Amino acid sequence: MEVRRERRMELFYEGSRILDLRRWKKLNYMDYSTNPDYFLGPWVNLQTEFPSILTAANANKVKVKKADGTEVTWNGSNQSSMVGYYMVLNAKNRNSFTDKNYLSPVGTQQINEYKNKGYNLTQTKGW
């Protein structure tokens, strides 16, 4: 488990997260409907760090989640309360994953090349 956590932190911007999850057969970790905290952004103090977000246009839209789990919505005058995990607006879950997502499809070019050499290469089951 520690190796997975460390890889997630160290290789965050490397694009290898999905490959790791596929290799470990843990694509379900990307199902955010099972853990809504995955939709949370970083811990912020919006009043001091991002005051430009606290506008009248964003009233009743921008939210933070406190460490105790309570949600606070920007109401136009509660700047000092807007400290917590930033709640991403319009966040949606990914498409669901199935067993076929652990395998890659065989390209039609490869199938045709094998056919031209007298071999029968078939498509990966489910693709």
Question: Mind listing the pLDDT tens digit for each residue in 41-70?
Answer: 899 999 999 999 999 999 999 999 999 999
Question: Do both 20 and 48 map to the same domain?
Answer: no
Query: Which has more confidence, 118 or 8?
Result: 118
Question: Do both 23 and 68 map to the same domain?
Answer: no
Question: Do both 24 and 44 map to the same domain?
Answer: no
Whether this prediction's pTM lies above 0.95 is answered by no
**Measured distance CA(86)–CA(27) in Å, rounded:** 25
Percent of the chain past pLDDT 90, that is, above it, reads: 51
CB 93 within 8 A of CB 56: no
Residue-range definition of the domain harbouring residue 17: 1-31
Question: Do both 83 and 56 map to the same domain?
Answer: yes
